[in-house]
């Protein structure tokens, strides 16, 4: 039976750890590696619960970091003697090679300055130019290969020790093997977050809606730590393809904090230093300061500006900031951008309202969708609106003419303030993370990642 097989596999792994038998991984469903086992048992890795389960499986059932390191050594990604990531060409580990100075990305030297005080510890990397260029392509050639957003960068750590190769190992490598304590790992991840936010706030051209994500081992395809930094106002098809494995940094931090609290109540207390706790708090405060001050500078007009419009004979009142949620470069966004004041004087109805010669029902669907985005917290996803069959063509035609068809038809992150956690409702709500469109989740990592192996794009 499956249970008996798992018991035999666990006994085998204990024998390997004890040095009694040669290495051989025996997993479920024929898995022959820790990586394959994690993919099979945690097929969706995008939140705290799945990350927590992956770390539990690794430490309690799959042999721990010792077996994980042996696997990476066998694959050629880690030097057995030094415990550092390899920087050769077979295997080709792009981020490790950048850290070692063996690969230099043209034009990225200046971008490092936007990390401020963090540039001594971290680096910013970019994708291949053609992958950035095709960020919004829906062609099969590019979906899963192109950048996940119009603005997409990677944060890497200037440390080749294997403990930093992936979020799965943060704080788990024993100090006797050169690892840091769980609390020190928490400090470093807090600093990663602060560094990424500082970069996005300084580089220019980015919105204030920034997403920071890890691909946890099993679902990763580059065995060197890299945090994805995304502008969430301009997501492409590749983001939604990999949504099942985009694990936000805040969820990683949540689990690490839980483990720190557990360690403080155990014999591991000696590893948790007061200085590390204070450093973690300082890094967290730095990230919060970036978010609450200079970072959240509105790119549009004052949110309180309410526009009185006449849409094809029907009156509408709507905040200008809501309409400016339309993608930059679209006709709808440009209509209400900086030139709005001059354009508004051109066509007024007899009540002084700005007249727009649009089909009123179709425009209302688009406007109401943007109202929902404006209302929804930035931590939640808003699904596309339900479009009545009888008016579908008119709505989609107008959306196409206004440059917002893709924006309307793809799920979007909310743009409102993240003030609270929303409670679950008995029926599916508009902020549900469950997609209406049928899209089976991949159960393996056979799909090419945005920066990996033979398809490396950075």
Residue-wise pLDDT tens digits, 158-203: 999 999 999 999 999 999 999 999 999 999 999 999 999 999 988 8
Torsions phi, psi for 319 (to 5 deg): -65, 140
Q: What is the pLDDT of residue 293?
A: 52
CB-CB neighbours of 102 under 10 Å = 12
Q: Is it the case that residue 344 has pLDDT exceeding 70?
A: no
Provide, rounded to the nearest whole percent, the portion of the chain with pLDDT above 70: 73
DSSP 3-state helix, strand, coil percentages of the chain (rounded to 5)?
Answer: 45, 10, 45
Tell me what pLDDT residue 18 has. Answer: 55
What global pTM score does this model have?
0.61
- Quick one: which H or E segment has residue 9? helix 2-17
Answer yes or no: is pLDDT of 290 > 90: no
d(CA 61, CA 42): 13
Residue 57 CB contacts under 8 Å (≥ 6 apart), including other chains:
37, 38, 41, 42
| pLDDT value at residue 207 | 87
pLDDT level of residue 60 (50, 70, 90 thresholds): very high
Question: What pLDDT is stored for residue 381 in this prediction?
Answer: 81
* Count of other CB atoms within 10 angstroms of residue 445: 19
In this structure, what token pair is assigned to residue 225? 């730590």
Banded pLDDT at 413 (limits 50, 70, 90): confident
Question: Could you report the per-residue pLDDT of 370-392, keeping only the tens digit for each?
Answer: 999 888 887 678 889 999 899 99
Average pLDDT over every residue of 269-285: 54
Q: Quick one: pLDDT band at residue 454, thresholds 50, 70, 90?
A: very low
**Residue range 278-300: average pLDDT?**
54
CA–CA dist 10, 58 (Å, integer): 12
SS3 letters across 325-355: CCCCCCHHHHHCCCCHHHHCCCCECCCCCEE
Q: Which two tokens stand for residue 409?
A: 């038809």
pLDDT tens for 19-33 read: 544 444 545 554 568
Give, to the nearest 10 degrees, the angle between helix 182-203 and helix 249-264: 150
Q: How many CB atoms lie within 10 A of CB 3?
A: 7
Asked if pLDDT for residue 302 goes beyond 90, the answer is no
- Give the pLDDT confidence score for residue 82 in this predicted structure: 94
């Amino acid at each position: 039976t499956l249970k008996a097989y798992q018991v035999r596999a666990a006994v085998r792994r204990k024998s390997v750890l004890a040095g009694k038998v040669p290495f051989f991984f025996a997993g479920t469903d024929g898995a022959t590696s820790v990586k394959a086992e994690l993919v099979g048992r945690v097929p969706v890795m995008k939140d705290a619960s799945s990350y927590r389960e992956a770390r539990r499986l690794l430490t309690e059932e799959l042999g721990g970091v010792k077996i994980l390191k042996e696997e990476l050594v066998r694959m050629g990604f880690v030097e057995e003697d030094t415990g550092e990531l390899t920087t050769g060409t077979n295997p080709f580990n792009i981020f490790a090679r950048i850290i070692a100075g063996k690969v230099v990305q043209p034009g990225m030297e200046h971008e490092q300055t936007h990390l401020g005080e963090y540039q001594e510890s971290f680096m910013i990397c970019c994708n291949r130019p053609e992958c950035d260029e095709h960020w919004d392509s829906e062609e099969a050639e590019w979906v899963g290969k192109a950048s996940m957003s119009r603005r997409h960068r990677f944060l890497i750590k200037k440390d080749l020790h294997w403990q930093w190769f992936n979020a799965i190992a943060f704080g788990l490598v024993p100090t006797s093997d050169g690892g840091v304590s769980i609390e020190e790992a928490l400090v470093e991840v807090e600093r990663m977050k602060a560094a990424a936010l500082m970069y996005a706030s300084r580089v220019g051209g980015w919105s204030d809606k920034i997403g920071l994500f890890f691909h946890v081992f099993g679902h990763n395809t580059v065995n060197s730590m890299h945090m994805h930094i995304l502008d969430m106002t301009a997501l492409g098809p590749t983001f939604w393809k990999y949504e099942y494995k985009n694990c936000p940094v805040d969820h990683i931090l949540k689990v690490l904090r839980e483990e720190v609290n557990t360690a403080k109540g155990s014999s591991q207390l000696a590893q948790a230093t007061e200085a590390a706790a204070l450093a973690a708090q300082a890094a967290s405060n730095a990230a919060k300061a970036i978010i609450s001050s200079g970072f959240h500078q509105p790119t549009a007009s004052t949110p309180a500006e309410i526009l009185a419009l006449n849409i094809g004979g029907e009156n509408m009142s709507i905040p200008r900031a809501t309409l400016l949620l339309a993608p930059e470069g679209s006709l709808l966004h440009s209509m209400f951008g900086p030139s709005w004041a001059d354009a508004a004087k051109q066509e007024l109805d007899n009540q002084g309202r700005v007249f727009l010669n649009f089909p009123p029902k179709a425009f209302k669907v688009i406007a109401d969708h943007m109202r929902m985005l404006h209302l929804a917290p930035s931590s939640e996803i808003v699904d596309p609106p339900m479009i009545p069959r009888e008016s579908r063509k008119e709505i989609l035609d107008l959306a196409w003419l206004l440059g917002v068809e893709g924006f309307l038809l793809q799920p979007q992150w909310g743009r409102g303030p993240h003030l609270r956690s929303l409670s679950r409702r008995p029926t599916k709500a508009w902020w549900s993370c469950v997609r209406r469109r049928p899209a089976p989740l991949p159960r393996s990592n056979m799909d090419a990642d945005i920066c990996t192996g033979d398809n490396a794009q950075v």
